[in-house]
Amino acid sequence: MSVSPKKQLGQHFLVDENILGVIGRLAELSPADVVLEIGPGLGVLTRYLASRVAHVHAVELDASLEPHLRGLGDNVDVRFGDALRIDLTTDATKLVANLPYNIATPLLVESLDGLPAIELWCVMVQREVADRLFAAPRTKAYGAVSVLVQLTCERTGFHPVSRTVFRPPPNVDSALVAFRRVGLPAGYPHVKRVVAAAFAHRRKTLPNSLELAGVSSRAQAAAALEAIGRDAATRAEALAPAEFVTLAEALA
């Protein structure tokens, strides 16, 4: 049964099975694993996972793909719904997925604290997104997602991916990136809010950005920056991930 990818859903189906071995290696798959997969599409990766792990929980937005996701094995369950809206909590300890490009960043950010059982991520994302996850301060790619991922995880693998492994081929490059949880810093919800506010107005100084986002007054932010040894003219991109934790503590 043929199916046409839906552009409005950002669908690019994985069709080249040669990449599956790379995914298996970066995901460190074992027979005891329980895996969460977001966006199984035609089920190419799902079948691969099902033959190598104990159980696969797959979540797909497009219900028209249901015929392609039948009979994948007794150890596979498929739910249909928006991964950003439904409860993704399962007994999975690994998130392995060719993530739909239009939800990759918010889904990864929310999974860091929203899915505390996940210990390892192995995801296919746009190369631009992959580069952001572990970008260094003072670089163009460095942003809120960089800070939050680096505060909670360490990168364990990276592999560029050709556009030809998808149908239709996307107009952007992709990459597989794997990272392992190291733990949430104390007061993470507050830290997360401060980080989001700090980068909400990237070109402004931190006191201005934090005030505009309603996190603190300019004076409070300037005093907090001084307390951590930073000037009031500092912008968000200058702070290392760990400095956001100390800034959040100072603001609190």
What's the whole-number mean pLDDT along residues 55-61?
Answer: 97
| pLDDT for the residue numbered 168 | 75
Q: Which helix (H) or strand (E) holds 214?
A: none
| pLDDT for the residue numbered 12 | 65
Average pLDDT for the chain = 93
Q: In this structure, are residues 83 and 137 in contact, taking their beta carbons and an 8 Å threshold?
A: no
Q: How confident is the model at residue 146 (pLDDT cuts 50, 70, 90)?
A: very high
3-state class (DSSP) for residue 58: strand
Judge whether 7-181 and 188-251 match in fold.
no
**Model confidence over 170-209: pLDDT tens digits?**
788 899 999 999 999 999 999 999 999 999 998 999 999 9
**Model confidence over 93-134: pLDDT tens digits?**
999 999 988 899 999 999 999 999 999 999 999 999 999 999
Q: In this structure, are residues 132 and 142 in contact, taking their beta carbons and an 8 Å threshold?
A: yes
Q: How confident is the model at residue 11 (pLDDT cuts 50, 70, 90)?
A: low
Place of tokens 């909670």: 152
Nearest CA among 16, 23, 25 for reference residue 37: 23
| Half-sphere exposure (Cβ direction) of 222: Cα atoms closer than 13 Å | 6
Nearest CA among 106, 125, 78 for reference residue 196: 106
Q: How confident is the model at residue 3 (pLDDT cuts 50, 70, 90)?
A: low
| pLDDT for the residue numbered 16 | 75
Share of the chain above pLDDT 90, in %: 86
| pLDDT for the residue numbered 94 | 98
| Selected residue with higher pLDDT from 136 and 10 | 136
Residue ranges per domain, the chain?
7-181, 188-251
What's the whole-number mean pLDDT along residues 62-85?
Answer: 95
**Amino acid identity for residue 59 in this structure:** V
Buried (b) or exposed (e) across 58-84, using 16+ Cβ within 10 A?
A: bbbbbeebeebbeebeeebebeeeebe
| Sequence-distant contacts of 101-107: CB under 8 A, at least 24 apart | 101/10, 101/12, 101/125, 101/126, 101/129, 101/170, 101/172, 102/9, 102/10, 103/10, 103/38, 104/129, 105/129, 105/132, 105/145, 107/38, 107/83
| Half-sphere exposure (Cβ direction) of 252: Cα atoms closer than 13 Å | 15
What are the helix and strand counts (H, E) for the chain? Answer: 9, 9
Share of the chain above pLDDT 70, in %: 95
**Amino acid identity for residue 52 in this structure:** R
Nearest CA among 38, 215, 192, 23 for reference residue 112: 192
Determine the CATH number of domain 188-251: 1.10.8.100
What's the whole-number mean pLDDT along residues 43-67?
Answer: 96
CATH topology of domain 7-181: Rossmann fold (3.40.50)
pTM of the model: 0.91
Lowest mean pLDDT among 9-13, 150-154, 237-241, 242-246: 9-13
Q: Is a pLDDT exceeding 60 seen at residue 75? A: yes
**Nearest-5° Cα angle at 157, 173 to 133:** 60
